[in-house]
A and B are shown apart, each in its own frame.
Chain A
């Protein structure tokens, strides 16, 4: 790693801390705005004012919320995510397993969808204007315009209910070995790929076409280079920056945005955890999830920017 990248990374990590602080405050105020608090929600229909007050005292929730929030922030500095209000478990313990699941799903989806999306985007750019290009672009838009829950449900109906090839539920900790991994992840991964690929395909295509119009690609043509060479060897390296950015933005969806997939396939990930946390007003848990989403998002953007720099010697050697 060279100086430019190192400086960018250091600077971004600094900014990340500030962003996290902003997010923490925003989430805190947002949560405060929601009706009801943990005690009230845990008691549900039996929440009489006295019961709520007593439970609040019992749960040490009688301090002002802002104070509890500040304590939580203090704990965060020392790496302590706090305890969940809803079930008094350590938030870190509550999250770790689920985060692993989410990262696994996101990872498998990335491994699956990114190469396919890049291939489609690049080939569509290569044969711009051809029938192939048109089909790819229409199919891309159709694919994202089908709601996610529908894709997932159709997949379950076909592969799990009628054909019985795959399990309808993806229970992450049953994975032993590659065959099982494929069986269990197949449907969630396909569903998610449908959602995230379109943007990657379109942006890749646009970025490659953009660089295909440059004089150095025309020069390659005049050197006798084949279309393949023009695209892969000349256009692509220069389009890497924008492509990495588009990929990063699409992938950032894979952590917090997959609630529907987690619900339908009963996959225990952090998106559902966050929803649970919101519905129980479990502030430490909400905060921790929000921090995770934010860190992942900023990291993805950072990685994209680093790729852009590394792929561009002009920036790399500044």
Chain B
């Protein structure tokens, strides 16, 4: 059996701004047979994206291929001329980006972008290309395949956009597809749909693929073989079965064991004293847009939410994308003054807006944002970022402050040397830990964590979770933990609340989550979590409950899009 992709001794180097050259890929060998899907897994920064991009003969700016060859369909992308590469891209190899939302040009219609490959390479007449695109939309189970192409990227949901990105890649009938973490940003219910669509398309067309991810469970559903990377080197190669069931390398083993996080150990004082609530949210209404005459904002997002957070405990908030989870956190933090309802901390009512709250109130309640990329000032070194709250709340200076910064870094398991770096020089997991350490620096009582682990690979995420747990025990912190990843919630929370369309539909102890969920949406959510089992995805079709729930959801989605377009 001939290999469609052969990577031999690939070395990629990058030049840092002090002129130092670092090798980010250190002699990788890799082959992919025709029709085979190979997964690249590994922690953040291990070089997965870099390798994937070399298949298209591309490196990000600042990087270059130092040596080696990348042969795709018998041609070496490293040795090609730029013009040859242009002809090669999109026709022989196609790329599905990590964030489809960013990869679509906001000012062009989806159809224009999907058929662009055909136009660039003059593969077929425009009308034929459009027809083909519509067929692809249908194959990828997109709603309204005939008309969805006329929309602009912001008019479709994230999951749909990810599938559209795949359609964009497939239009040129490539022989190799490169998927770069195509589902990381999606919530579990959407992820299932996308995964199924990808798998069906790859199977139907017999394409080879390279699938980059850090999520072993996802990879287990789609890949034939798994390549485990670390620090730019291949650690382990094997069939999916073999790697999942009998990992040989330490890192792989860590990955797999991290997949089943330890369930939350009950707090020691559990039964003894019924902990006093630290935060109470009473019939909270909040939203965006101008205030209407009824005293409610134009777009009401949160509808009558009641919540109670007990001291020293963690409350998980789950729900699909757009259900209002972040909005809830923003309202509590004072970023979005509520339209109605009350927020009380330690029995005292909190003012609606940040500016009306006292410094002390602000200190006690910290929020950690979802996207660590944008939550850290790109122009300040880590040390300065951490030092600021220390100075601001605790007036710490000089050596004491420096020592405290070191201690904080240590607390979140980051090397001290990192304090000289800028956020852009950190990997995703590192950024998220800095982000969290900044909240800790305030010495708060309550931390609102908004999806702080969703961008992290499981190993790192597990470490962060463990850290959270440990800090809770040591410092008696209270968390409100927002996530769409149920296993994470399971690992850290005592209770979990399910949000759906801005309302809290259900709340229960975590332990009862799997068995005791009553609301149909909660059940759908819970059963969508991928299992570390190569047959899980294929087995889903037989689950009648999930199928009907899915159908409902699709109808709801169509309706939501239609409404968005009207307004």
Contact = CB atoms under 8 A, between A and B. Distances in A.
A and B: direct contact (Cβ < 8 Å)? yes
Contacts of A238: 105-107
Contacts of B117: 223-224
Contacts of B89: 221-224
Given A223-B116, A224-B120, A216 B103 contact: yes
Chain B interface size, as a band, is: 20 to 34
Q: From DSSP, what is the main secondary structure of chain A's interface residues?
A: helix
Contacts, number: 72
B510 to A, nearest CB: 37
A3 B94 CA distance: 39
Given A216-B102, A234-B105, A222 B90 contact: yes
A219 B104 CA distance: 8
A229 interface: yes
Interface string B21-61: 00000000000000000000000000000000100101000
Contacts of B94: 223
A220 B102 contact: no
Interface in A260-318: 311-314, 317
A237 B90 contact: no
Contact of B91 (A218, A224, A225, A233): A224
A221 B97 CA distance: 12
Contacts of A145: none
A35 interface: no
Contacts of A218: 103
Interface in B68-108: 85-91, 94-95, 97, 99, 102-108
A243 B58 CA distance: 30
Contacts of B536: none
B138 to A, nearest CB: 22
Contacts of B121: 224
A234 B107 CA distance: 8
Contacts of B106: 216, 238, 312-314
A104 interface: no
A226 B86 contact: yes
Given A313-B152, A314-B154, A317-B152, A225 B116 contact: yes
Contacts of B168: 223
A49 interface: no
Given A216-B102, A314-B152, A314-B154, A222 B56 contact: yes
Nearest to B85: A224
B95 A219 contact: yes
B180 to A, nearest CB: 10
A214 interface: yes
B35 to A, nearest CB: 22
26 contacts: A215-B102, A215-B103, A216-B102, A216-B103, A216-B104, A218-B103, A219-B103, A220-B105, A220-B116, A222-B53, A222-B95, A223-B90, A223-B94, A224-B89, A225-B86, A225-B116, A226-B120, A233-B108, A234-B105, A237-B105, A311-B107, A313-B106, A313-B152, A314-B106, A317-B155, A317-B565
Nearest 9 Cβ contacts at the A-B interface: A224-B89, A215-B102, A224-B90, A313-B152, A219-B103, A216-B105, A237-B107, A223-B90, A222-B95
Given A224-B120, A237-B108, 5 more contacts: A222-B90, A223-B90, A224-B117, A226-B120, A313-B106
